[in-house]
Structure 1
Amino acid sequence: MKISPVEKLFTTFNETAIILQEELSCTYLEALAETGENIFEGNVLQEGLSELSIKRLEKKYDELKLEDFSNEEIRKAYQLVILKGMKESAQPNHQMTPDSVGILIGYLVYKFNKNESIHILDPAVGTGNLLTAVLNNQMNKQSSAIGVDVDDLLIKLAYVNANLQQHPVQFYNQDSLEPLLVDPVDVVISDLPVGYYPDDLRAQDYKLKANEGHSYAHHLLMEQSVNHVKPGGYLFFVVPNGLFESKEASKLGEYLKENVIIQGFLQLPLNMFNNKSSAKSILILQKKGENVQPPKEALLVELPSLSSIKAMEKILSQIGQWIADNK
C-alpha cells in the first residue's frame, strides 16, 4: 500500500524523536524540537549520543528530502507529531488551533489584505501551527511574520516548524503583554488564550485592565494587538462566543468602538467543540485610520460543518462576494 507524504514525514519525525527521547532522557516534545532542528540543518547536532543512535538517525535523515514535500505536507505531519506529544504530556496550556480554522483564517487574511507583501504578528504563537497555515495560504504574496510566546518549548517547536517550511519568521520568547519591540504589522492573527492574567502590575499599562482583581488576558492581548497593527490593518482573533457577555464586556465594547471597525463575526460550528460553553468564533477587526470606512453591514456568518466541502464552498463564495462589495 502506498503511504502518503504526510505519513512518510510523520514516521520519520516520530521514529527519530523516540531515538532522541531515549538518548537524551527528555520529553517527546523536546526530542521532537531537537530532531526537527537536525532535519533542517542536515546534521545530528546533539552531543554525547551513542554511535548506534547517530547511525540510525543519519540513515533516517538521509532517506528524507524536504524539498520533495510541500509546506502544507510538512506542517500537517509536524502538527500530528506535536499532537501525539501533547497527549502524552497533557499540559492544559498546550492546545492547538484546529487545522480547518487555520486554513479558513489563511483564506480570510488573503482576501482582506490586498497588498502584494504582508507582515503578520501572532502574539500567542504556540507551536506556530496557525501562523504557518496562514502563511501557506498567502499565494503569490511576499510574506513574513513575528511570533511571540512565553513558553520556551512551544516557541522552539514553532521556530523549527517555520524553518522546515522556510518561512521568514522572527520569534520572541517573552510574555506578549510586556513591551513588544517590533514595528507595526499589516495583520495580526491569534487564537487568543482565554483566562485571567496574573500580573496585575503589568495590566495597569492597559486600558482594558479590570477595575478590580485580575484582568482578562484575552482582552489585554486584543489591546496589545491593536497597538501593534498599522492604521487600516486587520486583526483576526479566535474568541469565545460569549466574548461580549462577560463582566468586562462593556469596557471591551467601548474600547473596540473607539479604536477599530468590526468587519465580521464568524461563528464556528458547534460540532467542533466538546460543549456549547467552549464554542468559539472568528472576530475580524480593522484598525481605524485615514480612508478606513465601515462596511455597509458587518459580515455575520454561522459557519456550516467545516468538513462539508459543498457547504463551505458556498459560504466562502458568499464571503468573497461580501468582501468585493465592501472593499
Structure 2
Amino acid sequence: MEATTNVEKLYECLDRGTECLQRYLQTPYLDALVAMGENVFHHDVMQQLDKETTDEIREALNELPDESLRSEEVRKAIQLATLKGMRASTQPHHAMTPDAVSLFIGYLVEKMVINKRADNNDEPLFIYDPAVGSANLLTAVLNTISKPAKGKGIDPDETLIQLAYANANLQNHDVNLFHQDSIVTKMDELDDVVICDLPIGYYPNEEVAKNYSLNPGGNEKPYVHHLLIERAIEQTKPGGYGIFLIPNGLFQSDQADQLHEWIKKETMIYGLLQLPQSMFKNQQYAKSIFIVRKRDEYLRDPDQALLAELPSFTNKAAMADMIKQIEDWIDGQIEKDV
C-alpha cells in the first residue's frame, strides 16, 4: 500500500533506510535508526557506505514529503520505527509510553502549569525527564503545550539517548540530553516540571543509594523508582510539579510506608489517576498517573486530591465527562500565579 500521509511517508523513509544500514553495518535496527535519523536531518547520506547502499538510502530520502513536517508528525513516524526496533530487541527496558498517555500528560501540564502561570510570565517552561529513553514522552508533551519550553533528559542507555537526540533534532525542539545515570548525576538547574515513566526494579549501586532518604538501609535493596522520585523532586523548583507514571501497587510494596511519608513531607499530593484497565494485557503491569507539587511556603495543600479511574481514551463521551471533572478540580484547587 502506497504511503499517503506525511507520517507514513517519513516512516517508510526511515524504515527503508534503516534496513539498508542494518544490512550493511551488521548492527541492530535501533542503532541503524539513529544513523538514518541523521541522514534525514541532513537530507543526505552521512556514512561511508558502498555505492549500492548509498544510492538506495538516497532514493528513500527522495521520497520524503515536499512540505515541512509538523513536529508531531515527525514524533509519530520515529515512534513507529522505534517500536519496530524495540520488538526485535531483547532489552527488557526498551519500552515506550503509550501515545494516549503521553498526550494526556501534556494536557495536564497545559492545564495545571501553563494555564496557571501569571499572564506576564513569558519565560520558557523547563521540563525534565530523568529516564528520557528515546524522548517520545518528552517531545509529545512539548508538542502538546501552547507555550515555549526547554526540555532536558537523561538516560543510561546509549542507543536510546542517541535516538532521543535524533528525535529532538528532527522535531526542532530545544532539548539538552545527557548519557548518564540520573540517580548518580545531579543537575545544576532546577526545573518547573518533571515528567517520568518510571522504570521499575531494584537499583544496583547501593553506594550511590546511601545518599538518598529513600534508601531503605539494612539488608533491603533500594528501588530505582523510589530513588528517581526523590531525585526528580530534588531537581524541581519550589512550587514545581512532578508527573509520574507509577505501578498501581506502588503504595502497597514493602517500602511503601517510607515512600509515602517522604512524599507527604516534601510534596503536596495533587492527584492519582488510574489508567484504563483495558490498556494492560496483564493487570500486574497496570499503571497510574501520579501528580505531586513540591512544597513552597506560599502554597496550601489542596482540600482533597484528584482521585479517579480514567475511562478508555477511545470513549469520547466518558472522557469528555472526566475532562470536565479534572478541569473543575484544577479551577477550584490551583490558584493562578500573580
Q: TM-score range by the shorter chain?
A: over 0.9
1:133 to 137, 140, 148: 140
Q: Shift of the alpha carbon at 1:264?
A: 0.3
Q: State how far apart, in whole Å, the 1-side matches of 2:136 and 2:319 are.
A: 22
Question: 1:132-151 counterparts in 2 under 5 A?
Answer: 132-139=139-146, 141-151=147-157
Segments ≥4 residues shifted beyond 6 Å: none
Q: Shift of the alpha carbon at 1:182?
A: 3.2
1:223 lines up with 2:235 in the alignment? no
Q: 1:318 matched to which residue of 2? A: 325
Amino acid across the alignment from 1:201? E
Deviations 1:76-97 (A, max 9, x none): 1111111111111132110100
Q: State how far apart, in whole Å, the 1-side matches of 2:282 and 2:173 are.
A: 35
1:22 lines up with 2:23 in the alignment? yes
Q: Shift of the alpha carbon at 1:317?
A: 2.1
Answer with 269-278 or 259-268: which moved more: 269-278
Q: 1:246 matched to which residue of 2? A: 253
Q: Shift of the alpha carbon at 1:321?
A: 1.6
TM-score w.r.t. length of structure 1: 0.96
Q: 1:169 matched to which residue of 2? A: 175
Q: 1:182 to 1:63 in 2, by over 3 A?
A: farther
Answer with 266-275 or 57-66: which moved more: 57-66
Q: 2:34 matched to which residue of 1? A: 33
Amino acid across the alignment from 1:204? K
Amino acid across the alignment from 2:296? G
Q: State how far apart, in whole Å, the 2-side matches of 1:182 and 1:23 are.
A: 42
CA contact (8 A) 2:10 2:65 kept: no
Q: State how far apart, in whole Å, the 2-side matches of 1:213 and 1:205 are.
A: 15
What is the count of residue pairs matched by the alignment? 325
Unaligned runs of 5+ in 2: none
CA contact (8 A) 2:29 2:85 kept: yes
Q: 2:208 matched to which residue of 1? A: 202
Q: Shift of the alpha carbon at 1:176?
A: 1.1
Question: 1:259-270 counterparts in 2 under 5 A?
Answer: 259-270=266-277
1:78 lines up with 2:85 in the alignment? no
Q: Shift of the alpha carbon at 1:67?
A: 5.1
Q: 1:15 to 1:240 in 2, by over 3 A?
A: same
Q: 1:8 to 1:153 in 2, by over 3 A?
A: same
Q: State how far apart, in whole Å, the 2-side matches of 1:128 and 1:66 are.
A: 26
Q: 2:9 matched to which residue of 1? A: 8
Q: 1:44 matched to which residue of 2? A: 45
Unaligned runs of 5+ in 1: none
Q: Shift of the alpha carbon at 1:66?
A: 7.5
Answer with 96-105 or 51-60: which moved more: 51-60
Q: State how far apart, in whole Å, the 2-side matches of 1:101 and 1:55 are.
A: 39
Deviations 1:29-73 (A, max 9, x none): 1111100011112221112x1112212222322332475322111
Amino acid across the alignment from 1:304? P
Secondary structure at the aligned position of 2:242 is classed as strand
Q: Shift of the alpha carbon at 1:313?
A: 2.0
1:305 lines up with 2:312 in the alignment? yes
Q: Shift of the alpha carbon at 1:288?
A: 0.2
